[in-house]
Amino acid sequence: MARIELKNVRKSYGAVEVIKGIDLDIRKGEFMVFVGPSGCGKSTLLRLISGLEEITDGDLLFDNERVNNVVPSKRGIAMVFQSYALYPHMKVYDNMAFGMQLSKSNPKEIEARVRKAAEMLQIDHLLDRLPKQLSGGQRQRVAIGRAIVRDPRVFLFDEPLSNLDAALRVDTRLEIARLNHDMEDVTMIYVTHDQVEAMTLADRICVLRDGKVEQVGTPAELYESPNSVFVAGFIGSPKMNFLKGSFAAAFDCTTLGIRPEHISVVDEARGIWRGKVIHGENLGSDYFLFVEIGAEAPLVVRRDGKEGLPVGAEIALAPEIPNLHRFGPDDRPV
């Protein structure tokens, strides 16, 4: 429901600047994902938006209203923490109702909102339990439920899936995606270091690096036209291949990027690179070949699951020319 604008937002701890001037416009009802390696400042940025950390410099606007000095509870935000952060001594119901109880809401309305949120997340049978009697996935649902009950303008997620095991992570991811569809008006900001989560959930992704915005765009934009080597390497799994030196010089650039799925095995005559298969990974639907072509790292090539090649095979490879990413000496695209 809220449009969020960051204007040259900075954060320092003493002499150390961790957020180095961020300009960002998050649209109403958008699902924005902050992604980046650890230490890039993505969690700090989320905490600045939440109000748990004070902004050192710059402006933060919710619906054109400056909220730098507004306390978290008055910003209309709700936050889901990585470690769930449930109140251990309160039952699930009280955990979810606590915020509304503090704001002295009508008990009937509290009850109605808690029940509705619990039904949405299918935790209505757990309302009388204590957090310690729940599994990890259930706890995270309660935490999400607590956020829903607050009926926020902005939902903030701080790596909510990091503590869950792989299977549960996929389920909960789906849950959050569904929540996003159900609550169309609510702006959601989601922090993760997992680019798969970023790609699958986001309307737009903001890639952060070292306290600065590296690139903002839809998942497809970032995937298809990354505007730096960093973004190109960060988005996509397995990583984009990077070739330097003479390999890159042949295409008039300093660094040549090509995704594994944009390289094909061809006959000798049409091959641009030649090399030996040193390793193969069969994932069922995909088969990844690691080919030693004399570059710094082996080239990863994606093929269909049934098209594996034996280790040691000598093969020729050719990239799809339109899908080449060429970067200059400043790591920006040419």
Kindly tell me which residue out of 37, 39, 107, 136 binds other proteins, with binding defined by CB under 8 A.
Answer: 136
Q: What is the largest CA-CA distance in the chain?
A: 78
**DSSP E strands: which ranges in the chain?**
4-13, 16-26, 31-35, 57-62, 65-66, 77-80, 154-158, 187-192, 204-209, 212-217, 241-243, 255-258, 263-266, 273-282, 286-292, 299-304, 314-319, 325-327
* 3 state DSSP class of 146: helix
CB of 81 to other proteins, least distance (A): 5
Nearer to other proteins, 52 or 61 (CB): 52
Cβ closest to other proteins, residue 84 vs residue 247: 84
CB 286 within 8 A of CB 302: yes
For residue 152, which of 200, 125, 113 has the smallest C-alpha distance? 113
Using CB under 8 A as the binding rule, whether residue 109 contacts other proteins is answered as no
Beta carbon of residue 316, minimum distance to other proteins (angstroms, whole number): 50
82 scored as a contact of other proteins (CB under 8 A): yes
List the end-to-end C-alpha distance of the chain, in Å, as a whole number.
Answer: 39
12 binds other proteins per the rule CB under 8 A:
no
Stretch of 83-91, 179-187, 224-232, 235-243 contacting other proteins, by CB under 8 A: 83-91
Rounded CA gap, 208 and 205, in Å? 9
| Residue selected from 131, 145, 217, 236 as contacting other proteins according to rule CB under 8 A | 131
Candidates 21, 29, 58, 72; binder of other proteins (CB under 8 A) is 72
42, 146, 302, 303: residue in contact with other proteins (rule CB under 8 A): 146
Q: Based on the shown chain and the rule CB under 8 A, indicate whether residue 130 belongs to the binding site for other proteins.
A: yes
Question: By CB under 8 A, which span of 69-77, 203-211, 234-242, 298-306 interacts with other proteins?
Answer: 69-77
Q: Is the dihedral of CA 105, 109, 111, 113 positive or negative?
A: negative
> Minimum distance from CB of 85 to other proteins (Å)?
4
Among 54, 66, 87, 332, binds other proteins (CB under 8 A): 87
* Rg of the chain on CA atoms, in Å: 24
Which span (32-40, 68-76, 196-204, 252-260) binds other proteins, by CB under 8 A?
68-76
Residue 319's beta-bridge partner residues? 263
Interface segment toward other proteins; rule CB under 8 A; list 133-141, 165-173, 217-225, 274-282: 133-141
Token duo for residue 93: 């119901």
The set of residues, in sequence order, having a beta carbon less than 8 Å from that of 97 and lying 6+ positions away, is 110, 111, 114, 149
Q: Which is nearer to other proteins, 139 or 259 (CB)?
A: 139
Count of residues touching other proteins (by CB under 8 A)? 32
Nearest to 204 by CA among 240, 180, 174, 229: 180
Strand order in the sheet with 77-80: 77-80, 154-158, 187-192, 31-35, 204-209, 212-217
Question: Is residue 98 a contact point for other proteins (CB under 8 A)?
Answer: yes
Which residues would be at the binding site for other proteins (CB under 8 A)? 50, 52, 71-74, 77-79, 81-89, 98-99, 102-103, 130-134, 136, 139, 146, 150, 163
